[in-house]
């Protein structure tokens, strides 16, 4: 399988997943802003010129990090990293698998756009302050859920790859975690995992 990747993007989640599962993969690496991501050859892979994308060996092409995680776990994980519907962890697994993109990443995206991507004269501090406030509330919900738990849905799972990564990115952008001891310990556990360390450096 082939992973289309750029450092410090959601594509880290996909390499992390493959490393955790020990699955072989080919990596095509871009840098953000690389003109090759807008070239016809790559637009035929991802019409928006973004990462991640995954091309399976049979030619199946799938985009969006959450969809890729679900696809790989369903087809190639042999029951690993995804609770079954018969377990009590299934519902929280689904909730936290989708919490990353549904809740955490919208304010993260606002912060990135307003503090990094836009030129200074076009930035809106009100938007940043609103996003930071919302992100703090969302991270508080993660912290509360982690009370008495090591991971989001029983043992380590795809939910931790999705929402855990989003939480790490939030902290790197300056979101307050000092007042969230469960979350802080959780992020330390995740960042100590060799598979994630390797994914950051892919």
Structural domain boundaries in the chain = 2-76, 90-200
| Average per-residue pLDDT for the chain | 97
What residues contact residue 116 under an 8 Å CB cut-off, 6+ apart?
A: none
Question: What pLDDT is attached to residue 33?
Answer: 86
Beta-bridge partner residues of 2: 26, 55
Question: What pLDDT is attached to residue 36?
Answer: 95
Instruction: Report the topology of domain 90-200.
Output: Glutathione S-transferase Yfyf (Class Pi); Chain A, domain 2 (1.20.1050)
| Structural contact between residues 7 and 33, judged by C-beta atoms closer than 8 angstroms | no
Q: What is the mean pLDDT of residues 119-137?
A: 96
Categorize the per-residue pLDDT at 153 as very low, low, confident or very high, splitting at 50, 70 and 90. very high
Question: What pLDDT is attached to residue 109?
Answer: 97
| Helix or strand holding residue 27 (H, E) | strand 26-29
What percent of the chain lies above the pLDDT cut of 70? 100
Q: What is the mean pLDDT of residues 133-160?
A: 98
- CATH top-level class for 2-76? alpha beta
| R_g of the chain, CA atoms, integer Å | 17
Closest by Cα among 48, 54, 55, 3 to 30:
3
Would you say the pTM of this structure is higher than 0.85? Answer: yes
């Amino acid at each position: 399988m082939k992973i289309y990747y750029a450092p410090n993007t959601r594509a880290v989640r996909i390499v992390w997943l493959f490393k955790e599962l020990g699955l072989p993969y080919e990596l095509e690496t871009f840098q953000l802003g690389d003109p090759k991501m807008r070239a016809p050859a790559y637009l035929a892979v991802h019409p928006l010129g973004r990462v991640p994308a995954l091309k399976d060996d049979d030619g199946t092409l799938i985009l969006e990090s959450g969809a890729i995680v679900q696809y790989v776990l369903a087809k190639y994980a042999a029951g690993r990293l995804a609770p079954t519907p018969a377990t009590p962890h299934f519902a929280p697994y689904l909730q936290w698998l989708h919490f990353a993109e549904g809740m955490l990443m919208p304010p993260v995206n606002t912060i990135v756009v307003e503090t990094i991507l836009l030129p200074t004269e076009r930035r809106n501090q009100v938007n940043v302050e609103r996003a930071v406030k919302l992100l703090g509330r969302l991270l508080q919900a993660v912290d509360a859920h982690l009370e008495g738990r090591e991971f989001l849905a029983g043992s380590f799972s795809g939910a931790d790859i999705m929402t855990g990564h989003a939480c790490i990115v939030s902290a790197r952008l300056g979101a307050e975690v000092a007042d969230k001891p469960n979350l802080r310990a959780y992020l330390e556990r995740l960042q100590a995992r060799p598979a994630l360390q390797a994914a950051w450096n892919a």
